[in-house]
A and B are shown apart, each in its own frame.
Chain A
């Protein structure tokens, strides 16, 4: 079983992480789309902090001799998933950025070649 002090410390850390994430969403510096993975991370951390037998159960099922290693494994997996998620997000942004640049170039070209646009009605 995880020592009580470790449990308390881990729970406080997980709750802090959760609060920081929620505050970032609230102040619109983080979109829900990207926040969800972080919320899941924080909640899983909180579960393993409060459920003190959890690490042992997890270590036994996966066949890890030293339970705290399971925590590192868990953390490493989450970091990997978050990084992969970022890579796909960046790829999508790069793709869209290219499309926007191309559209603007063609629009500018069209504007220069035609007469001045008719003035807006509003």
Chain B
């Protein structure tokens, strides 16, 4: 499988050099949407190797992803989104990928927007590019509590990184080799998107936000429920506070 992907040239965009790129798709019980997500990424850019990280699903997520032609790394039990995503970055590191994108398995990220994420990396203007729902007035709808939480988080992250971050809960992003090596070695647990900004910023990665549209979840339900989100909120704020005082040693270049 992989050998084929390697010899395949970057099919439709010949302006760009063929960089080896992988799409990391974390999924927990997304059997209903995962095949569509995989097919959509392939339709937009067949040059992507697609790795679905199945975080201990109890439905047919693994089988559906394999049927759609993705590689699947199945975790033996649920390790949480942070650990699942990091598994993908470790795969990307170990197999020498130059670029990794992260796309949620629930279908809320539109693969058509991938080009926007990749452009700053291709132009070497950024090491990490994050798709934000809030840079442009989109039609994203969220509950009041969720919006309040996002605003609070984005305020804190902006304060810590000294760079305006509008969407600290976005898991739609692209990183270059530097980002891959960093996240493979050091990625926050539990509710990691906001903290990942801080980790990247502390390591002096160049972070760029680009506006993207996101869809409402196609099926399934968000893993973030009301009482849990309060608990996570407190935990993330504690982690962000601590991160100010933490030292961040550089990860080894290659394993």
Contacts and interface: CB of A to CB of B under 8 A. Distances in A.
Interface of A: 22, 25-26, 28, 31-33, 35-36, 39, 95-96, 99-100, 103, 120-122
25 contacts: A22-B242, A22-B245, A25-B238, A26-B242, A28-B246, A32-B189, A32-B235, A32-B242, A33-B190, A35-B238, A36-B238, A39-B238, A95-B77, A96-B77, A99-B76, A99-B77, A120-B94, A120-B95, A121-B2, A121-B3, A121-B6, A121-B95, A121-B96, A122-B94, A122-B95
Given A99-B77, A103-B76, A32 B245 contact: no
A105 B77 CA distance: 16
A6 B198 CA distance: 41
A80 B93 CA distance: 44
B234 interface: yes
A25 B188 CA distance: 13
Contact residue range for chain B?
A: 10 to 19
Interface in B90-105: 94-96
Given A122-B94, A122-B95, A36 B76 contact: no
Nearest to B94: A122
A25 B245 CA distance: 10
A32 B239 contact: yes
Contacts of A120: 94-95
Contacts of B242: 22, 25-26, 32
A100 B6 CA distance: 32
B190 A26 contact: no
Given A25-B242, A26-B242, A36 B234 contact: yes
How would you classify the secondary structure of chain A's contact residues: helix, strand, loop or mixed? helix
A97 to B, nearest CB: 10
Contacts of A25: 238, 242
A1 to B, nearest CB: 32
A96 B94 CA distance: 25
A33 B192 CA distance: 13
A31 to B, nearest CB: 7
Contacts of A100: 76
A22 B245 CA distance: 10
A120 to B, nearest CB: 7
A31 B77 contact: no
Contacts of B239: 32
Nearest to B96: A122
Most chain B CB neighbours (cut-off 10 Å) among A25, A95, A100, A120: A25
Given A33-B189, A96-B76, 9 more contacts: A26-B242, A26-B246, A28-B246, A31-B189, A32-B235, A103-B76, A120-B95, A121-B3, A121-B96
Nearest to A30: B242
Contacts of A103: 76
Interface string B10-43: 0000000000000000000000000000000000
Nearest to B186: A28
B189 to A, nearest CB: 7
Contacts of A122: 94-96
A95 B78 CA distance: 12
A86 B77 CA distance: 20
